[in-house]
Amino acid sequence: MLHRVIIATFSLISLVATGVHADDDDTRRLLHQIDRGAMERERSHLVDETPLPGMGQGSLITIGETTYLVQDTLEDLKPAIYVAMNLRQWAKVGQFVEKYGQLPGHDEGLVLLAEGMLAREARNYGEASGKLRTALERDPDNVRARLELARVYFEDNQSDESRMLFDQISISGIPDEVRPVIEGFQGALRERDSWNGSLSLGVGYNSNINQANGMVTVSEECLPPFGCFPSIRRMPEPIKSSSSVYDLTLNRRLQLAGHHNAQFRGISYGKFYRQHKEASEGSSAVHYGESTSIVYAGYNYLSALDDVLIAPLFEHNYGNRHSRYQAVGLRAEWKHNLTARMQLGATAQRKHVSFKAQERQYFDDYDENQLGVFASYVLGDRTAIYGGLNHTRQQHPQSTASNKEYMANLGIYHIFETGFNVNATALYRRLRHDAADAFLGGQRKDHQQVYIVNIGMPRFAFKGITPNLYFKRTVNDSNIDWAYEYRQTEVALKFEKSF
């Protein structure tokens, strides 16, 4: 009887302790999905403005197949500056405007316009907006200066300022060939300010919903003066099951002033299994399906180069047909666009986890602190690589339960021309508990490998619903192998709708 109670208690402990890792992986995945989805929806509105090829050397400018010599005169340099700006040949713009600004009678507004566009190209958005504002103040009817200033505000995430200028430009009698560009920016700004998110529903399969190993351990127990006798420890067998799965994301950013915003993020995800552990003498039934919902609401600073979020969080976990725990805390994120292709970032998070209902008879509340760094690099128009390091510290009332976790991940995202995209991630996680547990027989030390592949299939999208195929393989090794070692494979077919 006592043996059954111990095993039942251990099964419930495993249900929560091992589930935390899955929650962290899914939370990280959905937060990245929010960022990537918002960027892709915004870019879908923008019109590609491909520059014309060909600039010569020195004072030569090539248009089409004809090369022209640009003399150091106002009559030659002024149109050459405009042509070079249109062709996005910034080295030429800098060369021509330097000569032009030294000539008596030059147009100072043109110099400011060119210098502002050069500063924008150099990603110095403060200088760029200052130069372009001054150019516009000198000549309020200069539509080109107004357009370039609107672009700078757009790229620097000053949406209200950008929207006002684009609205002014759209009613100013612009050429028909420019109108699609303006309308593209206006559509992107509407997308930026609106609620957006995604919902996916699907079916799946899990080879080991209870994260068990079925290990049988035979040992010899000696009890003087009665002698020694064999002892058998038999762990639960893995339970296979089909499942219903869902993911939900919701995001909204509200500009307060300039770069300052209020931001709301919500994510929810869950798996509900067909199979469960039946009740037996001394233990109740265990239903392994669970769902987690997290809300972040706080302050966001957003510019062309930096993205900072400081937000309180509220987390709720539902499992085994009741509320298992709630958590409140604070999350801070910083992302910096080091170059046009490379982004660096860091995260810090603290939360207090409170168990609910019958969970409280097995678990004590605890505090969790996380620190992480990450980076991503765009290899081309269709490929990006990313990776990061993360440290998690859980502090429980008992030192045997307190632990440190170190995680490293590396991934690649690629879009195929055939209408598919693949996001593949490999994670390595190392867990160390602070002290030995006499019941378990030692100080727990785990090594875990996780491999995740998500295949998006926009080619087969129907009415905005895109199928996705999800694979996850988990290999958990532990020095206390009988209790914590397991293998798990998850597969799911999801149908996702973005909005």
Q: Can you give the pLDDT of all 499 residues of the chain as single tens digits?
A: 334 333 444 444 444 444 444 468 899 999 988 988 888 888 888 877 644 343 344 454 555 555 667 788 888 899 999 988 988 889 989 999 999 999 999 999 999 999 999 999 999 999 999 999 999 999 998 999 999 999 999 999 999 999 999 999 998 878 888 889 999 999 999 999 899 999 999 999 999 999 999 999 888 778 787 778 888 889 999 999 999 999 999 999 999 999 999 999 999 999 999 987 776 666 777 888 999 999 999 999 999 999 999 999 999 999 988 899 999 999 999 999 999 999 999 999 999 999 998 888 889 999 999 999 999 999 988 999 999 999 999 999 999 999 999 999 999 999 999 999 999 999 999 999 999 998 888 999 999 999 999 999 999 999 999 999 999 999 999 999 999 999 999 999 999 999 8
pLDDT tens digits, one per residue of 354-379: 999 888 888 999 999 999 999 999 99
What are residue 266's DSSP bridge partners?
250, 295
CB 490 within 8 A of CB 206: yes
Predicted TM-score of the model (pTM): 0.85
**Rounded alpha-carbon distances, angstroms, from residue 56 to 61, 62, 88, 205:** 5, 6, 13, 61
Sequence-ordered list of residues with C-beta below 8 angstroms from that of 53, at least 6 positions apart, any chain: none
Handedness of CA 81, 82, 84, 85 (dihedral sign): positive
**What is the predicted pLDDT for the residue at 321?**
86
Sequence-ordered list of residues with C-beta below 8 angstroms from that of 307, at least 6 positions apart, any chain: 300, 301, 333, 334, 335, 336
HEC-encoded secondary structure of the chain: CHHHHHHHHHHHHHHHHHHHHHHHHHHHHHHHHHHHHHHHHHHCCCCCCCCCCCCCCCCEEEECCEEEECCCCHHHHHHHHHHHHHCCCHHHHHHHHHHHHCCCCCCHHHHHHHHHHHHHHCCCHHHHHHHHHHHHHHCCCCHHHHHHHHHHHHHCCCHHHHHHHHHHHHCCCCCCCCHHHHHHHHHHHHHHHCCEEEEEEEEEEECCCCCCCCCEEEEEEECCCCCEEEEEEECCCCCCEEEEEEEEEEEEEEEEECCEEEEEEEEEEEEEECCCECCECCECCECCCEEEEEEEEEEEEECCCEEEEEEEEEEEEEECCEEEEEEEEEEEEEEEECCCCEEEEEEEEEEEEEECHHHHHCCCCEEEEEEEEEEEEECCCCEEEEEEEEEEEEECCCCCCCEEEEEEEEEEEEECCCCCEEEEEEEEEEEEECCCECCCCECCEEEEEEEEEEEECHHHCECCEEEEEEEEEEEEEECCHHHHCEEEEEEEEEEEEEC
Amino acid at 299: Y
CA atoms within 13 A of residue 255's CA, in its CB half-sphere: 20
**What is the predicted pLDDT for the residue at 10?**
47
Kindly report the backbone phi and psi dihedral angles of residue 360, in degrees, each rounded to the nearest multiple of 5, phi listed first: -65, -20
CB 409 within 8 A of CB 427: yes
Distance CA 207, CA 189 (A): 45
Strands 260-273 and 241-257: antiparallel
**What is the predicted pLDDT for the residue at 231?**
82
**What is the predicted pLDDT for the residue at 122?**
93
**What are 329's two structure tokens?**
């805390």
Strands 403-415 and 322-337: unpaired
**What is the predicted pLDDT for the residue at 280?**
67
Give the angle subtended at the CA of 233 by the CAs of 230 and 237, to the nearest 5°.
145
Count Cβ atoms within 10 A of the Cβ of residue 225 and give its class: 0-12 exposed, 13-18 middle, 19 or more buried.
exposed
Distance CA 169, CA 154 (A): 14
**What are 407's two structure tokens?**
């995680």
Domains of the chain: 60-192 (1.25.40.10), 196-498 (2.40.160.40)
Sequence-ordered list of residues with C-beta below 8 angstroms from that of 9, at least 6 positions apart, any chain: 362
